[in-house]
Chains A and B, each alone.
Chain A
Amino acid sequence: MSTRRTPPAAEPPGGGHEALAPSYPPDSVGLVATRLLTLGADRPLRLESGAVLAPVTVAYETYGELSAAGDNAVLVCHALSGSAHAAGYHGTGADEKPGWWELMVGPGKAIDTTRWFVICSNFLGSCYGTTGPTSVDPATGRRWGINFPLFTIRDMVELQRLLLDELGIARLLAVVGGSMGGMQALQWAISHPDRVAGVIPIATAGGMSAQGIAFNEVGRRAIMGDPLWRGGEYPESDPPAHGLALARMVGHITYLSEEAMHRKFGRRRLADEPGSSFGREFEVEDYLRAQGDKFVRRFDANTYLYLTRAMDSFDLVADHGSLQNAFAGCTSSFLVVSFRSDWLFPPSQSQAIVQALKRSGHDVAYANLESDQGHDAFLLPGNRLGDLLPGFLARLHERGPR
């Protein structure tokens, strides 16, 4: 058999214990599990670089029901450090955190799971279950680490396509994603125009800016400069934690805005830290360090190198000559969204996408949303993103296949 379906992860606790079943908010998809799908050696993933990965495992979650007509599937793409866990809860613990887009995905929410069949897959190379640097290289029996082949946004889309083939989804109503997920959404419209009715790239760009590459490079230097990185051959139990935390701190600054930082922290000092040393003194320092430390516990350093490199190499202009050429063969409708205070993916980059789409006569809507939350705004409440999606999705669905 060509494909081996790995059974769903163990059923979460609570089954058969009705009295103990936790109550989730009514607008949550509730208890969910990440599933793993492994494509066998006869379904290899050919990367742009020429390298071939087989077998390949992809981690994914789904919410809602695929309609009989198969016309209600929405693919949600996560950003750099996200995972397939977009909505709902994995466990019953009191401190259990919901998926990264719980705000948007659920019954009655902007991406309404009573209406749409939502798929979120962990993209190629990420360290949350999909094949990547933390996976075992079948040829050596050891973790790939720094020997994993280089891959691109296009390769990520290719793996998502293979997953959809396996799930029997011929056509997507929409692909939606922010940041790196937005790059994937754009790539979907270009790579598979006949399989996507609508595309929603949020806070993204047709190519990584020099500033974005610069910040990513600082992050990579922090990791590779950590003596514990050991040329990428670090043991799982002793990673270059300091470098990875530093990379995250730099990254995190770029996800916020000056306004948001000022509002959150101002120049407030930590009460118990006298301002006489280079220890922690300001609240913002404390916050960044906590973000860095938290990240180290959940993310892999080599993976960070690969993902930022994939992001940096995304360049539709280089691939196609111009943005307009890039979109020339697209047939999807587009809803492009940017945030006014995003300085990592500034609105001008979304506007360049919109202009190219307009010139090629594509169906495009665009909103530059008011928010002081910077790049991270698409993950946070307090802006109108949630208002935009239902109208766009409903319109796509009403119009049907074209």
Chain B
Amino acid sequence: MTAPPGAPALGPARQIDWALTRGRDRALDDAIAALVAPGERVLDLGCGTGDLLLRLRMEKGIHERGIERDGDAVAEAIARGLAVVEGELGEWIGDLPAGSYDLVVLNQVLPLMEDPVAVIEGALRVGRRVAVSYPNFAHWRIRLTLGLCGRLPVNPALPYEWYNTPNIRLVTVNDFRRLCAQRRWRLVREAFVAPGAVGTAAPVRALPNLRASLALAVLERGD
């Protein structure tokens, strides 16, 4: 099997090509933008070059803040006039004042987290609402690849080989729902998409754990 187009050649494994996930990372922006009211305070944890924040500032006049650990992406975001800080997001939310944001976004960064539960707990402390998006590892195509070919997926939602993936956690829609129940996070809204024609994402309404490649969950603190 040939490498997907744009895949990094074999080389230093730590050099992660974030361009590969750009399409995936923007697939749920419409759904996230729909959660934001004009003038709100939005914290994007793992904001990359700030595409979402820039859009929200232009469309909704938000007060934006982004945290990102990739230095080049941070420089890009600041160059675009965004208030973005270079740092490890788990450490960063630690001492932000409670309730200081209307919405905290964790867009496709959950699989990269050493301790995703702590990050979400931190986000729920800092924000009134938390939007979490993630690739669904139970998508039927992945099940098929693994079941029939015995191979891990390399697709637009998970565009890396096992040896160069930045993802250290894999999650499914059912797993995430189960975690929310266990931790008593209120799951107030969900949205699911599957890749449609080139560059688009089609909404998925039925059987998301089987049919969605990307999921968005909106959480509120349960207690």
Kindly list chain A residues whose C-beta atoms are within 8 Å of the C-beta of B87: 351, 354, 366
Q: Are the CB atoms of A368 and B86 closer together than 8 Å?
A: yes
B124 to chain A, nearest CB (A): 18
Distance A355 CA – B87 CA, assembled complex (angstroms): 10
Residue A108 interfacial (CB < 8 Å)? no
Main secondary structure of the interface of B (DSSP, over half): mixed
Q: Are the CB atoms of A358 and B75 closer together than 8 Å?
A: no
Q: Are the CB atoms of A370 and B71 closer together than 8 Å?
A: yes
Distance A346 CA – B201 CA, assembled complex (angstroms): 44
Residue A395 interfacial (CB < 8 Å)? yes
Q: Are the CB atoms of A391 and B83 closer together than 8 Å?
A: no
Kindly list chain B residues whose C-beta atoms are within 8 Å of the C-beta of A395: 81-82
A361 to chain B, nearest CB (A): 6
Residue B72 interfacial (CB < 8 Å)? yes
B75 to chain A, nearest CB (A): 4
Distance A351 CA – B92 CA, assembled complex (angstroms): 11
Residue A387 interfacial (CB < 8 Å)? yes
The B58-115 residues at the A interface (CB cut-off 8 A) are 71-72, 74-76, 78-87, 92, 95-97, 100
Size range of the interface on B? 20 to 34
Q: Are the CB atoms of B95 and A391 closer together than 8 Å?
A: no
The A344-402 residues at the B interface (CB cut-off 8 A) are 351, 354-355, 358-359, 361, 363-370, 384, 387-388, 390-392, 394-395, 398
Q: Are the CB atoms of B78 and A392 closer together than 8 Å?
A: yes
Contact A335:B78 (CB < 8 A) given known A365-B83, A366-B85: yes
B221 to chain A, nearest CB (A): 20
B99 to chain A, nearest CB (A): 11
Q: Which of A361, A365, A369, A390 contacts B85 (CB 8 A)?
A: A365
Given contacts A361-B100, A365-B85, 16 further A-B contacts (CB under 8 A): A333-B83, A335-B78, A355-B95, A359-B96, A361-B97, A363-B83, A365-B82, A365-B84, A366-B85, A366-B86, A368-B74, A370-B72, A384-B72, A384-B79, A387-B76, A388-B75
Q: Would you list 23 pairs from A and B whose C-beta atoms are within 8 A, ordered by A residue?
A: A340-B71, A354-B85, A354-B87, A358-B96, A359-B97, A361-B97, A361-B100, A364-B83, A365-B78, A365-B82, A366-B86, A367-B75, A369-B71, A387-B76, A387-B78, A388-B79, A390-B79, A391-B78, A391-B79, A391-B80, A391-B81, A392-B78, A395-B81
Contacts from B to A (Cβ < 8 Å): 71-72, 74-76, 78-87, 92, 95-97, 100
Contacts from A to B (Cβ < 8 Å): 333, 335, 340, 351, 354-355, 358-359, 361, 363-370, 384, 387-388, 390-392, 394-395, 398
